[in-house]
Amino acid sequence: MACTLDEHRAEIAALLDPVIAALGSETLPVEAADLPGRVAAAQLPALLPIPAFTNSQMDGYAARSAELSGASGEHPVSLPLGFTAAAGDRQIELLPGTVSPVMTGAVIPAGADTVVPVEATSDGVFGQLVRAGEGGPTGSATFTAPSEPGRFIRPVGQDLQAGALVAEAGARLTPTLIGALAASGVREVAVRRKLRVLVCTTGNELMGGTSQAGRIPDSNSPMLAAALRGYGAQVDTLRLPDDAQALGLALEAQSRQVDLILTVGGISAGAYEVVREALAPRGGSFHHVALQPGGPQGFAQLDGTPVLCFPGNPVSALLSLELFLAPALRQLAAVPAPVPEPYELAAEVHSPAGKHQVRRALLEQGKVRVLDPGSHLVHDLARADALVHIPVGVEQLPAGTTIDVWRMNV
């Protein structure tokens, strides 16, 4: 008797949960090319405040607001220039009765409490600028309006205080989050270790290159490896001939090197089902799920390493990954599950009553067009941009019926 989609999902989740929990972590520098998309393994507090020092938001003049309080168009205030504060310079002191030219990002001079943009002065441009150690500053700046305390000044820690949390454990490290970590002084990040997956395809009919009589290119290995890498896994591939004894020994050896083995093909009801022959004596479980495509399914454990066994037709293989393995991969990679969206059917759809059918579909002009159900149609799979689930017991859906659609992310 076939099991349901949810029953098989629960079996696979129970097999994978201990592996996910035991993955552990590794430490990467914040500049690592491999850091984007990884997941924080621990809380990440700021080591420095952001900004790390009180600085200027504008190119202008650092001043004491009290000395500009009476400035107006009728009664302008002119003050001599002090030394210039440039970005990257040490803090200078603002002498009473003077103003200091200050550049964006520069440390606010000691004694200043406001910044007047250069374009808000009478001249509108800087005169001669002199930095500390370059001689004595000359010239003056004229102001025609007061400037309140704190204007155009970014105080230390305005964005984030030292010790505040930049990222929670389990956060997906996006480019912006990595930027915030770097700005807060974090140099290394503990991240979840990648899941190491071996994709093992079987079949004497498979070959790596151009088709020959009776043989076909292996599309499953590159397709599934790409999907797994898209979820953040570290993937190797292995192609084995139809020899149950050799395959069983090879999988046993590989199980010590990886966290998960994924086999493709060799589990149906045919005469040469090599994966079933190799793994059934090793405790493997093989059954039929009330699902189309992707009905034949299996799983095993070799030395504690889970082995998931998917059917060999390309559409069945990829949908099996999306239905049974992707939930764990999304959890590990902190990727949200796809959210169903309502669409009207562009045409009538038929489905076998006793199976949960998953159909590829195209979203066109606000409606969904369901594609042919064939499990071998890999080009149709590449064209599809959505999946439609038709539950057990539903045989026909008329055109215009509103159904839930899941956008494909593989």
Question: Which string of DSSP letters, residue by residue, matches 255-322?
Answer: TTT-SEEEEES--SSSS--HHHHHHGGGT-EEEEBSEES--EEEEEEETTEEEEEE-SSHHHHHHHII
Q: DSSP 3-state assignment of 389?
A: strand
DSSP one-letter code for 107: B
SS3 39: strand
Ramachandran category for residue 365: left, alpha or beta (phi over 0 → left; psi -120 to 50 → alpha): left
Whether the CB-CB separation of 196 and 257 falls below 8 Å is answered with yes
> What is the pLDDT at residue 338?
87
Closest listed residue to residue 239, CA positions, set 301, 320, 312, 324:
312
Question: What pLDDT, on a 0 to 100 scale, did the predictor assign at position 391?
Answer: 87
What pLDDT, in 10s, does the model give residues 353-388? Answer: 888 888 889 998 889 999 877 645 567 677 888 889
CATH 3.90.105.10 residue ranges for the chain: 26-51+158-192
Output the CA angle 358-361-366, nearest 5 degrees: 130
Give the residues of the chain that fall short of pLDDT 50: 375
Q: Please list the residues that pair with 44 across neighbouring strands.
A: 167
The kind and range of the H/E element at 165 are strand 165-167
The 3-state secondary structure of 13-28 reads HHHHHHHHHCCCEEEE
Fold of 5-23+193-333: Molybdenum Cofactor Biosythetic Enzyme; Chain A (3.40.980)
- What superfamily would CATH give domain 341-407? MoeA, C-terminal, domain IV (2.40.340.10)
Return the CATH superfamily for domain 26-51+158-192. Molybdopterin biosynthesis moea protein, domain 2 (3.90.105.10)
Specify the pLDDT at position 212: 61
Report the candidate in 290, 276, 324 with the shortest Cα–Cα distance to residue 10. 324
Instruction: Tell me what pLDDT residue 214 has.
Output: 58
Name the DSSP class of 222. H
Q: What pLDDT was estimated at residue 1? A: 62
Nearest 5°: phi and psi at 320? -65, -45
Give bridge partners of residue 403 from the DSSP assignment: 343
Looking at the chain, the domain(s) classified CATH 3.40.980.10 span 5-23+193-333
- Cβ atoms within 10 Å of 293's Cβ, excluding its own: 24
